[in-house]
């Protein structure tokens, strides 16, 4: 009896392990995980960076964060190899459609230069039809200033104050973030 059950259990274990590995590869760890709560010093630091930082966008435009006219600014830290990052592009686009001219979305792409050429980046942006402009941060200088160690990460500001932080692939179409932002705009 023991010899008949062992192969069955081995096959089941292998199947479950493979399924979990595939889930993590394609969907990341905790796609709908809870938003990480920032401490008061972290919020203060992010708000200080907002007040003084500029992003040099790939398109050669430099944007000083504090001079952005839209009341809501979303900074999206992402990479082309990050599956959870790619999944949230549609969600961000939906958020932009819902809030219109009340939101400015900026990206910070952290792909290394060796891994992604300028041509590959342009092709990627065109293929994915990105709805926001990005700064290229191959040395992770901007990522480091924000004390972030991985992507995806999103910081949302309302008039320079941090109102949301997420270090996962949060889906903004199915979350209360849109309601929270609309409430701030009233």
Structural element, H or E, at residue 75: strand 72-78
pLDDT interval class at 58 (50, 70, 90) = confident
For residue 158, what pLDDT is reported? Answer: 96
Tell me which range, 15-19, 69-73, 121-125, 173-177, is most confidently predicted by mean pLDDT. 69-73
Confidence (pLDDT) at 5: 65
pLDDT given for residue 29 in this prediction: 40
Nearest to 76 by CA among 11, 3, 141, 165: 165
Q: What is the pLDDT of residue 59?
A: 81
CA 56, distance to chain mean position in Å, is 18
Which of 49-53, 63-67, 71-75, 119-123 is predicted with the least confidence, judged by mean pLDDT? 119-123
Tell me the pTM: 0.78
pLDDT band at 1 (very low <50, low <70, confident <90, very high): low
**Are 146 and 155 a contacting pair, CB within 8 Å?**
yes
pLDDT of 79 > 60? The answer is yes
Nearest to 103 by CA among 16, 11, 181: 181
pLDDT in tens, 132-159: 999 999 999 999 999 998 899 999 999 9
CATH of domain 32-185: 3.40.30.10
The mean per-residue pLDDT over the stretch 41-56 comes to 94
- The Cβ of residue 152 has, within 10 Å, a number of other Cβ atoms equal to 22
Domain ranges of the chain: 1-30, 32-185
Name the nearest CA neighbour of 38 among 30, 47, 51, 29: 47
């Amino acid at each position: 009896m023991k010899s008949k059950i062992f192969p069955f259990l081995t096959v089941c274990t292998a199947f479950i392990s493979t399924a979990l590995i595939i889930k993590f590869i394609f969907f990341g760890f905790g796609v709908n995980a809870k938003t990480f709560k920032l401490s008061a010093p972290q919020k203060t630091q992010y708000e200080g960076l907002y007040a003084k930082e500029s992003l040099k966008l790939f398109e050669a435009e430099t944007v000083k964060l504090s001079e952005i006219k839209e009341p809501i600014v979303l900074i999206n830290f992402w990479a082309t190899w990050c599956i959870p990052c790619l999944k949230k592009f549609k969600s961000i686009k939906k958020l932009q459609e819902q809030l219109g001219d009340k939101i400015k979305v900026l990206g910070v792409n952290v792909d290394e230069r060796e891994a992604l050429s300028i041509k590959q980046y342009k092709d990627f942006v065109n293929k994915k039809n990105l709805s926001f402009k990005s700064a290229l941060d191959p040395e992770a200088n901007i990522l480091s200033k924000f004390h972030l160690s991985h992507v995806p990460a999103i910081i949302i500001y309302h008039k320079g104050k941090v109102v949301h932080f997420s270090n996962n692939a949060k889906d903004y179409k199915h979350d209360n973030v849109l309601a929270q932002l609309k409430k701030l705009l009233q």
